[in-house]
Chain A
């Protein structure tokens, strides 16, 4: 179809902001760090193409261990979040009615409108040596000296699970919402136990929500910075911290860019794998959330 020049110009003008946005803020910057990650310093202020930054990652145990640890803990956090959130989502979607339902969902949303840092501050005040839990434990006589609950893996996992819950509950509840009560009834009538009905009917039906929730929680967890650093302290060891250290503290941008590419790769790989295993597309998945 031939278009009039005026129409073409209008289309071009309408497209311009999107192209500027995606080009200048997304595509070119990523090309830049890709190129940067393959450059190595051969002399002061002179850089050449090379794989040294990636080799450095594989030869320095601190780097790849932190990477593996981040990946592993993120998967653990995602699984924990799913297990914790499922009964809540099921209750909101299937049991609660009318006002109670709206109320429960709203109460879930509220804490997540508040800054991540405020939530982390709350956990720090609860868990640290001079914090509320330690104080209560001493007050009731369960401990005779201050208890440090912060700066360990448990605290990091707790903080990350807390931060991920909403992003799991909402897609789960949306998916469970559409489950026909009659189907569940039929399952019971055919002699299925609670467990069988849950495993054979409810969970398969919720699968799109489960995938969407897991992908979002995993992405947020892997890319988190403040929670592991603040709740884990020196023991936090999160990969984003390594990127920050290379970029801001050591000013070794090529190395930091290589780390950034690796994090992007990890995050995209898991998202792709999750979508592939369940045969869903990114668009529908994001819509679930």
Chain B
């Protein structure tokens, strides 16, 4: 089994070509000087990134308000999601690893549950439940509660519903490895509970907090299924991309995709580095 046959090696090579072909095509055609994202190659241009629309009638990503606002919307969702995921994830990890109470196994299982629910179903259930909640509360309070209606705030809640599971798992895995005698030593030396938390426990958890935050950021940026059911008029990036792909887009969509790949690559390498520091 240690001498791979030629056929096996060729298969591996073909597999990696297959894996990267679509991404390479997307990246290459971001620089094609043509109004359509398709061959033939008509020369190199940066028009689809920075162009004002003078050359092809359609602007590049960085000057197009549609793309810019959807990138902005994605950040408006991803940043709160990442912060809340780390905060709540830490508390949840604490509950799972440190607290003792009846029904803990059940709670731990419930926390895994969101991972086996299809994203579309998560989306519609949250949409339906919050609409009912909004209807009830609006009748009662006699005010408009727009944040419970489809829109960015609902997208944040929808994404949190399953991203919290991931962040909890990441942070709990780190907390499990913590040597509690370190905390005891600090207590013996007279440190208060908050001081121990701040100077001993949290610094130990830091790589996993950063890691969980970055993973949450990425998952939020890329989530499509749940987001699709909960968006209002402000579309985050994946929703705008989906719309453009159905209608037929300009190579500006390739430029957005390339920027996304670079951003994701950057975040992923930071994550890989923090993961390495953790070992």
State the CA gap A116–B227 with chains docked (Å): 13
A95 touches B241 (CB 8 A): no
CA–CA, A109 to B20, complex, Å? 11
Neighbouring B residues of A271 by C-beta, 8 Å = 116
State which of A48-56, A57-65, A125-133, A205-213 sits at the interface with chain B.
Answer: A125-133
- In the complex, are the beta carbons of B128 and A32 less than 8 A apart? yes
Per the bound structure, the CA–CA distance linking A26 and B130 in Å amounts to 12
Residue among A26, A107, A116, A230 with most chain B CB within 10 A = A26
- Contact of A115 with B by CB under 8 A: yes
With contacts A17-B88, A25-B157 taken as known, whether A95 is within 8 angstroms of B4 at the C-beta atoms is: yes
Say yes or no: B12 contacts A222, CB within 8 Å.
Answer: no
CB distance from B239 to the nearest CB of A (A): 9
Q: 1/0 per residue B61-88: CB within 8 Å of A? A: 0000000000000000000000000001
Q: Chain A's nearest CB lies how many Å from the CB of B219?
A: 10
B38→A126 contact, CB < 8 A: no
- Does B50 lie at the interface of the complex (its beta carbon under 8 Å from any beta carbon of A)? no
Contact of A243 among B120, B161, B272 (CB under 8 A): B120
Please classify the interface of chain B as helix (H, G, I), strand (E, B), loop, or mixed, using the class held by over half of its residues: helix
B140 within 8 A of A: no
CB 8 Å contact bits of A85-109 with B (1 = contact, 0 = none): 0011001001100000000101111
- Contact call B224/A110, Cβ cutoff below 8 A: no
For chain A, residues 2 to 54, give those with C-beta under 8 angstroms from any C-beta of chain B.
11, 14-15, 17-18, 21-22, 24-26, 28-33, 36
- B134 CB-CB contact with A under 8 Å: no
B222 engages A122 (CB within 8 Å): no
Q: How far is the CA of A244 from the CA of B242 in the complex (A)?
A: 14
Indicate whether B145 reaches chain A with its CB closer than 8 angstroms.
no
* Residues of chain A lying within 8 A (CB to CB) of residue B26: 118, 121-122, 125
Tell whether, in the assembled complex, residue A14 and residue B127 are in contact, meaning their CB atoms are under 8 Å apart.
no
Q: Is B111 engaged at the interface, CB distance under 8 Å to the other chain?
A: yes
Main SS at interface, chain A? helix
A164 to B92, CA, bound (A): 30
Contact A14–B19 (Cβ < 8 Å): no
Chain B's nearest CB lies how many Å from the CB of A143? 14
Question: Contact at A219–B229, with CB atoms within 8 Å?
Answer: no
Contact A95–B229 (Cβ < 8 Å): no
When the two chains form the complex, which single residue of A119, A121, A263 contacts B120, counting CB atoms closer than 8 Å? A263
Provide the bound-state CA to CA distance between A95 and B20, in Å. Answer: 22
A21 touches B116 (CB 8 A): no
**Measured between C-beta atoms, what is the minimum distance from B5 to chain A in Å?**
9
B29 interfacial contact with A, CB 8 Å: yes
Q: Are B91 and A25 in contact, with the CB atoms below 8 A?
A: no
Which residues of B (143-182) have their CB < 8 Å from a CB of A?
157-158, 160-161, 164
With contacts A117-B241, A125-B26 taken as known, whether A219 is within 8 angstroms of B19 at the C-beta atoms is no
Q: Is B196 an interface residue (CB 8 A)?
A: no
CA of A230 to CA of B249, assembled, Å: 13
* Nearest chain A CB to B172 CB, angstrom units: 12
Chain B 6-24 residues near chain A, CB threshold 8 A = 8, 11-12, 15-16, 18-24
Q: CB within 8 A of B124: which of A87, A88, A247?
A: A247
B235 to chain A, nearest CB (A): 12
Known A132-B25, A243-B120, A283-B112; judge A21-B218 contact (CB<8 A). no
Complex partner residue of A257 from B16, B124, B261, CB under 8 angstroms: B124
Given contacts A17-B91, A122-B26, A260-B125, A282 and B116 within 8 Å (CB-CB)? yes
CA–CA, A126 to B121, complex, Å? 31
Cα distance, A234 to B241, chains bound together (Å): 19
Q: Point out the residues of chain A lying under 8 angstroms from B218, CB to CB.
A: 113
Asked if A204 lies at the interface with its beta carbon under 8 angstroms from chain B, I say no
B228 partner, pick from A11, A15, A113, A225, beta carbons under 8 A: A225
Q: Using Cβ atoms and an 8 Å threshold, which residues of chain A touch B228?
A: 225, 244
**Contact A135–B40 (Cβ < 8 Å):** yes
**Smallest Cβ-Cβ distance to B38: which chain A residue:** A130
Offer 12 A-B interface pairs, CB within 8 angstroms, sorted by A. A22-B107, A25-B126, A26-B113, A111-B22, A115-B241, A122-B24, A130-B38, A131-B38, A162-B19, A165-B19, A223-B118, A224-B225
Seen from chain B, the residues whose Cβ lies within 8 Å of a Cβ on chain A are: 1-2, 4, 8, 11-12, 15-16, 18-26, 29, 36-40, 88, 91-92, 94-95, 99, 101, 107-122, 124-130, 132, 157-158, 160-161, 164, 218, 221-222, 224-225, 228-229, 238, 241-242, 245-246, 253-254, 257, 260-261, 264-265, 268, 272
Given A162-B19, A229-B246, 20 more pairs with CB closer than 8 A: A11-B99, A17-B92, A18-B95, A18-B107, A25-B160, A29-B122, A29-B125, A32-B128, A36-B128, A113-B264, A113-B265, A114-B261, A117-B242, A119-B23, A132-B39, A223-B119, A243-B124, A264-B117, A271-B116, A282-B116
